[in-house]
Amino acid sequence: MNRLFQLADARFTVLLLCLSLAVVIGFLASLSVGPVGIGTLAVLSSLFSDSSDVAVIIAQEIRLPRALLGAAIGATLGISGAAMQGYVRNPLAEPGLIGVSASAALGAVLTIYFGLSTLYIWTLPLGGMVGAAIGVAIMVVIAGRGSSTLTLILAGVAVSTLAGALTSLALNLAPNPFAAVEIIFWLLGSLANRSMEHVWLAGPFMLIGIALVLTVGKPLDALSLGEDTASTLGVNVRGVRMRIIVGVTMAVGAATAVAGAIGFVGLVVPHLLRPLVGHRPSLLLPTSALGGAVLLLFSDVAVRLLSFGPELKLGVFTALVGSPFFLWLVLKLRHQYL
């Protein structure tokens, strides 16, 4: 009996180590891949140099922010998916699918095109967070009390479509000849050509959001038995809901404000990792954060390797990987929920 617990603990530790190793490899790969060939070691030594050599500038100003954002945004999306799924007890809840990312993108777009973010740069992540908050609030109102998968997904489609349409509308109304290019950025997401400025803008919010979500692990385990039972097990369900809402809103809002709406990471990662942690929502949180970072870092490397001509948008790649999963999940869950 005690042996069983120790076995589970050991397996979890090994999984965490493997995922951390994969994050490190993905991070190094992200630093190493680009249109200009610089070896991994050269990039690493460039990171700590203060010369103004071109390799140093590329490493510090282009590759580093891209890798940092890849890891942080991946972790954000992975853990947000895991937390939302744990809370609504439904494996299809995900920032992209239920419209949180799309409404965050809308919020960010509005701050940019009303010129707010030019005046006060910090309004950009703030706009993203306000948008995300509205998206999360709609999700909680509609699906907070364990409503059906169908309701959740249909509401998500409605919110996503509306937010996407309003984003396009805002971009078309703005006196901006680049609307078409930028609509694609906001709807599909990209890490290309981001700078350290974006890391400083969004990073702190993502870290606080992730940290906040990490505190709801055990309550989510208890919520596996439903809200009533969880309450009688000492879980303050309203407090948990608040922490998830605030955490997801901050992290996804800030992430989307600098990289656009990247879909499916929050769906695929928890789904793949769930069996490896014995379906325990508490263990799924840290592993999904790491797994999300791995998926996004490698997707971003793949996007750079696969690009012929203009760079493929990151969301295109994650959707290519994610949509089949989504379809498969829907088929699997058809009898259970729909």
Partner 1 sequence: MFIQSTQRFLKICSSFKPKLLFAVIATAALSVAMTEIGMSDQQHTEKPKKIVSTHLCTDQLLLLLSDYDRIASLSFFSHNPSMSAMSDTAKNFPVNHGFAEEIVALDPDLILTSTFGHLSILLLKKLGYRVSIIPVASNLSDIATNIRLVAEAIGEEERGEAIAVSLTSRIDAVSLPDVTMRPLLAIYNQNGFTFGQEALITQLIETAGFRNLGAELGLGIAQHLPLELLLVHQPDALMLGDRNTSAALANELPNHPSLRRRYTDIPRIDMQSHLWICGTPFVADALDYLVEQRIRLSQ
Partner 2 sequence: MSILSAQQLNVSISGNKIVSDASFSVNSGEIVALIGPNGAGKTTLLKAIMGLIKVESGNIYYDNMEIKFNQQHQFARYIAYLEQNSRSYWALNVESIVMLGRLPHLGRWKRPSANDRQFVEKAMEVCDVLQFADRVVTTLSGGEQARVMLARTLATNPHFLLADEPVAGLDPAHQLDVMEKLRDLADGGAGIVVVMHDLTLASRYCDRMTLLFEGRVTADGSSEIVLSEQHLATAYGIKAVYHDSDHGKFVIPIRRLKG
Using CB under 8 A, list all residues that contact partner 1: 34-36, 52, 54, 57-58, 61-62, 112-115, 117-118, 174-182, 185, 193, 195-197, 309-311
309, interface contact from partner 2, partner 1, none, CB < 5-8 Å by kind: partner 1
36, interface contact from partner 2, partner 1, none, CB < 5-8 Å by kind: partner 1
* Beta carbons of 195 and 65 less than 8 angstroms apart: yes
Restricting to residues 238-257, which ones interact with partner 2 according to CB under 8 A?
238
HSE at residue 181, side-chain half, CA atoms within 13 A, is 5
CB of 222 to partner 2, least distance (A): 6
4, interface contact from partner 2, partner 1, none, CB < 5-8 Å by kind: partner 2
CB of 103 to partner 1, least distance (A): 18
DSSP-assigned states of every residue in 123-140 = HHHHHHHHHHHHHHHHHH
Restricting to residues 274-303, which ones interact with partner 2 according to CB under 8 A?
274, 278-281
d(CA 124, CA 113): 10
* Beta carbons of 79 and 214 less than 8 angstroms apart: yes
Instruction: Give the nearer residue to partner 2 in terms of CB position, either 235 or 265.
Output: 235
Say whether residue 176 binds partner 2 (CB under 8 A): no
Interface pick for partner 2 out of 13, 148, 151, 236 (rule CB under 8 A)? 236
Interface pick for partner 2 out of 40, 193, 232, 307 (rule CB under 8 A)? 232
CB of 98 to partner 2, least distance (A): 18
Say whether residue 226 binds partner 2 (CB under 8 A): yes
Site size with partner 2, rule: CB under 8 A: 27
* Beta carbons of 20 and 28 less than 8 angstroms apart: no
* Beta carbons of 270 and 82 less than 8 angstroms apart: yes
d(CA 291, CA 213): 16
Interface pick for partner 2 out of 31, 69, 222, 244 (rule CB under 8 A)? 222
d(CA 135, CA 89): 18
d(CA 280, CA 15): 14
* End-to-end CA separation in angstroms for the chain: 38
Which stretch in 39-47, 153-161, 216-224, 295-303 sits in contact with partner 2 by CB under 8 A?
216-224
Two tokens at 179? 């609307």
Interface pick for partner 2 out of 175, 234, 309, 310 (rule CB under 8 A)? 234
Instruction: Give the nearer residue to partner 2 in terms of CB position, either 196 or 333.
Output: 333
E strands, 209-325, in order:
none
Instruction: Give the nearer residue to partner 2 in terms of CB position, either 147 or 215.
Output: 215
* Beta carbons of 206 and 251 less than 8 angstroms apart: yes
